[in-house]
């Protein structure tokens, strides 16, 4: 027990404690000036909007993929199921350079898209693509066990009472999946906000336009502006903790719903 606490303190708590400590030393005025600087605010806006869009895309497709993987039988289902975790296992830098090469104006996917006038790499859409990739497993993995646990008798009952399939899905199945679905969405969103490795290559890193908050922290560090970097980090950390609370609340909700 003692060694658990000591190790936890040395590796996690003391280092993280440096953030409020360092921020406290800079004073309120300097703190607000740093975190409300237009370039910094632009980076929050970009980080939040691209993360939100990526989480939405993952929520929609994740639901379909999870449903197909659990309910339908087809050749190679196990293989595909194992492959879903690839974004967790693949180093983010590898994902970053690969997606940039694919979506660059002369890449496999970027070329056809640019013919239709869509520029992906080095724009906010490119950032969204990278965030979709790294958040892809969350919704699928949180939904799968819940879909597996769905009581077929409920569906049978609804069907035998004359409900159409669409009605059963909308009124019986989906309400049951909501908590897990939202949890998966929030996990993907939270992960995307802090993401750096896969984004830094595809974003182009133009201040005010395609510069995400984690990158801004690095930029400030490279200019030896430790305090500025810490202030931005504290704001980002607060966002992450707020999302963590949401996730915990969602899990409590889902626990209560599944308990009855």
Partner 1 sequence: MERAEAGALMATVSQVHPGAINPPQTRRLTEPRLVRALLMCVAFAFLAVGLVIPLVAVFVEALANGVQAYVDAVREPDALAALRLTAIAALFAVPANLVFGVCAGWTIAKFTFPGKQLLTTLIDLPFAVSPVISGLVFVLLFGRQGAFGPWLLEHDVRIIFAVPGIVLATVFVSFPFIAREIIPVMEAMGTQEEEAARVLGASGLQTFFRVTLPNIKWGLLYGVILCTARAIGEFGAVSVVSGHIRGLTNTLPLHVEILYNEYNFQAAFAVASLLTCIALVTLVLKTIAERRKSG
Distance of alpha carbon 210 from alpha carbon 42, whole angstroms? 9
CB of 147 to partner 1, least distance (A): 13
Distance of alpha carbon 5 from alpha carbon 233, whole angstroms? 25
Distance of alpha carbon 121 from alpha carbon 13, whole angstroms? 38
Whole-number Cα distances in Å, 241 to 29, 143, 223, 250, 253? 24, 23, 27, 14, 18
| Residue number with CB closer to partner 1 (11 or 208) | 11
* DSSP letter (8 states) at residue 37: S
What tokens appear for 138 in the block? 């969350």
Distance of alpha carbon 42 from alpha carbon 183, whole angstroms? 27
| Residue number with CB closer to partner 1 (56 or 84) | 84
CB of 227 to partner 1, least distance (A): 9
- Terminal Cα-to-Cα distance of the chain (whole angstroms): 36
CB of 37 to partner 1, least distance (A): 18
| Residue number with CB closer to partner 1 (135 or 179) | 135
| Residue number with CB closer to partner 1 (12 or 174) | 12
CB of 205 to partner 1, least distance (A): 12
| Residue number with CB closer to partner 1 (36 or 154) | 154
Q: What angle do CA 158, 161, 166 make, to 5 degrees?
A: 50
CB of 92 to partner 1, least distance (A): 5
Q: State residue 164 phi and psi, 5-degree precision.
A: -75, 165
CB of 260 to partner 1, least distance (A): 22
| Residue number with CB closer to partner 1 (124 or 197) | 197
Pick from 42, 15, 38: which is nearest to 230 by CA? 15
């Amino acid at each position: 027990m003692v060694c658990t606490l000591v190790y936890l303190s040395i590796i996690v708590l003391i280092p993280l404690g440096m953030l409020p400590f360092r921020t406290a030393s800079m004073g309120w005025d300097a703190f607000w000036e740093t975190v409300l600087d237009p370039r910094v605010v632009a980076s929050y806006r970009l980080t939040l909007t691209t993360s939100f869009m990526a989480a939405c895309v993952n929520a929609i497709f994740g639901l379909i993929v999870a449903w197909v993987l659990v309910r339908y039988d087809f050749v190679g289902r196990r293989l595909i199921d194992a492959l879903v975790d690839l974004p967790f296992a693949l180093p983010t830098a590898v994902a970053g350079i690969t997606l940039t090469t694919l979506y660059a104006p002369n890449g496999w996917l970027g070329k056809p898209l640019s013919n239709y006038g869509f520029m992906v790499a080095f724009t906010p859409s490119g950032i969204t693509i990278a965030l979709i990739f790294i958040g892809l497993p969350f919704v699928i993995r949180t939904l799968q066990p819940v879909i597996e646990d769905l009581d077929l008798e409920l569906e049978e009952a609804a069907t035998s009472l004359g409900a159409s399939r669409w009605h059963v899905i909308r009124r019986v199945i989906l309400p049951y999946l909501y908590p897990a679905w939202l949890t998966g969405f929030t996990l993907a969103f939270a992960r995307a906000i802090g993401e750096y490795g896969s984004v830094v290559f595809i974003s182009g890193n133009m201040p005010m336009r395609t510069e995400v908050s984690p990158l801004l922290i690095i930029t400030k560090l490279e200019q030896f502006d430790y305090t500025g970097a810490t202030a931005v980090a504290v704001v980002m950390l607060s966002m992450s903790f707020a999302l963590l609370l949401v996730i915990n609340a969602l899990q409590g909700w889902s626990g209560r719903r599944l308990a009855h």
